[in-house]
Amino acid sequence: MSFSLLRAPIRRAASCWIASQSSAQKSAQNIHPDSANTAVKSGVQAAKVKANFVPTKEDYQNVYNKIAELLDEAGDYDDGSYAPVVLRLAWHCSGTYDKDSKTATTLQCVLPRSLSHGANAGLNVARELMAKIKEEFPWISYGDLWTLGGVAAVQEMAGPKIPWRPGRIDGVAAQATPDGRLPDASQGSDHLRKIFGRMGFNDQEIVALSGAHAVGRCHTTRSGFEGPWTFSPTTVTNDYFKLLFNEKWVWKKWNGPKQLEDKSTGTLMMLPTDYVLVQDKSYKKFAKAYADDNDLFFKDFSAVVAKLFELGVPTEQWVTPEPWIMKNVDEK
């Protein structure tokens, strides 16, 4: 994987770069070459942060603005916006982290072995969009680009501000995680706790993250499931939680995998992993709180998405000690 910042001209703080790279190389001896490569990149990234040899917030705002422009160029794709699939890309590329082994710290689904994982079906749409941004801004890492895309997607769909900061480096082939680290929508509450617990999330955070299903839809050609969760699949609201409680959900009669549909219109769907939020006692109290209070949902959703996008990244790699708040396009 490329990390174009490493190839930028380096005139300031050259001795710091050299010393850091040498140290990283020594610490990476006697381990797999790909892991050694990432160790060197991490050391160099930390040196750049220390030397303040990084693009400015304005540079990243320009990237955000360009992403936001592309989100609305979807035409007839899905519900007229690329934002939901771009958000899904950012989530899947952050959601394979393991807090115990400290593996999958940045963008493992950018790696060849991960592209064939079933949960990543359809992400080529978002990857091709991000490739256009990468061509225009080659200095940004894929890790920063794709998570910034997720931030733009949430905010441009009328969602809350998501604190974000740059400093991620991209993974290499040896770090690709095995299939199965992302949630299986056909499972129950224990499965969710296992998957999200591996990343370090508690029950409240699991429910808040599930609120991302306020947007987007499933496709039979990808997951096998079909349909949107809400009537406004390109707007972030707490409608997902409201619908879970206010609609009557019945099992869909069809030849596809088990999913539920709303009895009143038959046009909405819920996955088994969605429905457990109103069945599991612990999950239910948080889901009900979010159904009753959109502001509370926005506050907790913002915090947990920001946490998701930073999983496993060493503190010294961050460009700024405190995350930034990126401006929406209508705030430029």
CATH code for position 104: 1.10.520.10
Claim to verify: residue 165 and residue 202 sit in the same structural domain: no
Decide: residue 170, CB within 10 A, 0-12 exposed, 13-18 middle, 19+ buried: buried
Structure tokens at 34: 């790909």
Check residue 300 and give its pLDDT. 98
Check residue 18 and give its pLDDT. 23
Claim to verify: residue 238 and residue 321 sit in the same structural domain: no
Contact 209, 196 (CB under 8 A): yes
**pLDDT band, very low/low/confident/very high, at 222 (cuts 50, 70, 90):** confident
Is 229 part of the annotated catalytic residue set? yes
What is the distance between the alpha carbons of residues 294 and 44, in angstroms, rounded to a whole number? 42
Return the half-sphere exposure (C-beta side, CA atoms, 13 A cut-off) of residue 168.
Answer: 27
Check residue 94 and give its pLDDT. 83
**What percentage of the chain reaches a pLDDT higher than 70?**
74
- Nearest-5° angle of CA 299, CA 302, CA 308? 140
Q: How many domains does the chain have?
A: 2
- Does any domain span residue 296? yes
- Does any domain span residue 22? no
Claim to verify: residue 167 and residue 199 sit in the same structural domain: no
Other beta carbons within 10 angstroms of residue 241's beta carbon come to 29
Residue entry with tokens 């958000």: 87
**pLDDT band, very low/low/confident/very high, at 117 (cuts 50, 70, 90):** low
- Does any domain span residue 12? no
Exactly one of 92, 146, 164, 249 is catalytic; name it: 92
pLDDT in tens, 171-199: 766 666 666 667 788 898 999 999 888 88
Claim to verify: residue 73 and residue 134 sit in the same structural domain: yes
Contact 296, 289 (CB under 8 A): yes
- Does any domain span residue 170? yes
- Does any domain span residue 126? yes
- Does any domain span residue 20? no
Instruction: Specify the 3-state DSSP secondary structure of 228.
Output: strand
Is 92 part of the annotated catalytic residue set? yes
From first CA to last CA, the distance across the chain in angstroms is 33
Claim to verify: residue 273 and residue 209 sit in the same structural domain: yes
Claim to verify: residue 172 and residue 135 sit in the same structural domain: yes
pLDDT in tens, 122-163: 578 888 999 999 999 999 999 999 999 999 999 999 999 999
What is the distance between the alpha carbons of residues 263 and 269, in angstroms, rounded to a whole number? 10
- Nearest-5° angle of CA 66, CA 104, CA 6? 55
Contact 133, 69 (CB under 8 A): no
Among 8-17, 247-256, 297-306, name the one with the lowest average pLDDT: 8-17
Claim to verify: residue 223 and residue 292 sit in the same structural domain: yes
What is the distance between the alpha carbons of residues 18 and 10, in angstroms, rounded to a whole number? 10
**pLDDT band, very low/low/confident/very high, at 221 (cuts 50, 70, 90):** confident
Return the half-sphere exposure (C-beta side, CA atoms, 13 A cut-off) of residue 151.
Answer: 31
What is the distance between the alpha carbons of residues 204 and 177, in angstroms, rounded to a whole number? 26
Instruction: Judge whether residue 75 has pLDDT over 70.
Output: yes
Structure tokens at 69: 């422009």
Domain span at residue 127 reads 54-181+312-331
Exactly one of 17, 146, 164, 229 is catalytic; name it: 229
pLDDT in tens, 18-68: 222 333 333 434 445 555 555 656 665 665 666 665 799 999 999 999 999
DSSP 164: B
Claim to verify: residue 100 and residue 173 sit in the same structural domain: yes
Check residue 124 and give its pLDDT. 81
Decide: residue 274, CB within 10 A, 0-12 exposed, 13-18 middle, 19+ buried: buried
**What percentage of the chain reaches a pLDDT higher than 90?**
60
- Written as one letter, the residue type at 259 is Q
Rama region for 144: left / alpha / beta (φ>0; ψ in -120 to 50; rest): alpha
Instruction: Judge whether residue 107 has pLDDT over 50.
Output: no
Structure tokens at 285: 């109290």
Residue entry with tokens 């709303």: 262
Check residue 3 and give its pLDDT. 33
- Does any domain span residue 146? yes
Claim to verify: residue 62 and residue 177 sit in the same structural domain: yes
Distances from the Cα of 224 to the Cαs of 104, 233, 235, in angstroms? 26, 18, 24
Contact 182, 117 (CB under 8 A): yes
Claim to verify: residue 141 and residue 164 sit in the same structural domain: yes
Distances from the Cα of 313 to the Cαs of 42, 72, 144, 165, 166, in angstroms? 9, 31, 11, 11, 10
DSSP 270: E
- What average pLDDT does this structure show over 253-266? 97
Contact 227, 268 (CB under 8 A): yes
Claim to verify: residue 197 and residue 297 sit in the same structural domain: yes
